[in-house]
Structure 1
């Protein structure tokens, strides 16, 4: 009697094991997706791995016909960590890299190492200015995140309104201004700003 029961159970167990094996990939991917959706660090890690493919390398030469702001001038006020307020007009004759970001934003976290690399490459060049504008509710939160990750790029906040033509509220948003204050690059979403091509293009803007 026992042998008959065992013989009936064996096919059921084998079928169950086959089902688990066949669906293992789906289970793993489903679990990874859930983790990515609920965990900012996990999501930023996955996005950072995607950036390594090269598909998200920033390119100033690419012109998006739908991006009407390219070629126009912008002016707005910004404030440094000491409370000093400036206007972007004071940055004429410099190439200006502007990035709107927040520490809670996974795509912002994903691209930030590349921004830090870009900053370290040009930080000693007087013809380049990095205007990294934090959108956290508290600047101390952003500073704590940068300290934790050992990033050295300085932080700013917007002071008053920012033209909607360049920042609609989507994070991250990145703009590059030439020395005349004209927009030469405007991108919404994460990207890699440490690629050789982008570094070369920034160098070319400096020479203009």
Structure 2
């Protein structure tokens, strides 16, 4: 019995237990990713994309629609002259949960700015469950579900995916995976998009 309970076996068991928790407990994985975000990993790249197929394929955003819990429809085509922060996420997705505090911080900074619009899209279309999560965490982010076809150039199915459109409706940022959207660099990026008339 003493051979089984030696220091090396106890450390190995604890390590394996830690890995199992990370694998099977989404909130534990989200907490670890959030910690990595705070030390500087997962910072979003904010270089403006060159005019490519990515930006030219979605010249007209009309008809790309999202619906809130009250049934109100938002059409991306009506949001010209606004910077749009569009995020696809789900409550079961650890990277989504990890980035949510930073998304909420960004939202808090711009929520009263009529030139910046946030659309948080619940990929499961279970707005009641998503709202319960938001309420529990104290987040005020506006929740929507998909109400039309979404072009693959905007959302390929990976969660989380964040897309930022400039005031002309062009894709200025499109990334899958968790990122720290409350970073000074990203906040400055949103401010630059807001100020730009090009």
Work out whether the TM-score is over 0.5: yes
Matched, 1:185 2:173: yes
| 3-state SS of 1:116 partner | helix
Superposed CA RMSD in Å reads: 2.2
1:13-52 → structure 2 map (5 Å cutoff): 13=2, 16=3, 20-52=6-38
Contact persistence 1:72–1:182 (CA under 8 A): no
Give the corresponding residue for 2:134.
146
In the alignment, the residues of structure 2 paired with residue 68 and residue 36 of structure 1 have an alpha-carbon distance, to the nearest angstrom, of: 38
> Match for residue 54 of structure 2?
69
Following superposition, the deviation at residue 57 of structure 1 comes to 1.1
| Equivalent residues in 2 for 1:144-183, closer than 5 Å | 144-183=132-171
Give the Å deviation of 1:70: 4.3
SS at match of 2:67: strand
CA shift for structure 1 position 35:
0.8
CA contact (8 A) 1:72 1:183 kept: no
Relative distance call for 1:199 and 1:148 in structure 2 (3 A) is: same
Question: 1:54 matched to which residue of 2?
Answer: 40
Question: Normalised by the size of structure 1, how large is the TM-score?
Answer: 0.85
Q: Partner of 1:204 in structure 2?
A: 192
Could you tell me whether the CA contact under 8 Å between 2:57 and 2:153 is conserved in 1? no
Q: 1:63 Cα deviation (Å)?
A: 4.9
Of stretches 81-90 and 103-112 in structure 1, the one that deviates more from structure 2 is: 81-90
Gaps of 5+ in 1: 1-11
TM norm structure 2: 0.89
Stretches of structure 2 lacking an aligned partner (at least 5 in a row)? none
Larger radius of gyration: 1
Higher helix share: 1
C-alpha distance after superposition, 1:40-77 (max 9, x if no partner): 1111111111111212111211759xx95246536211
Residues 125 and 145, structure 2, Cα contact 8 Å, conserved in 1: no
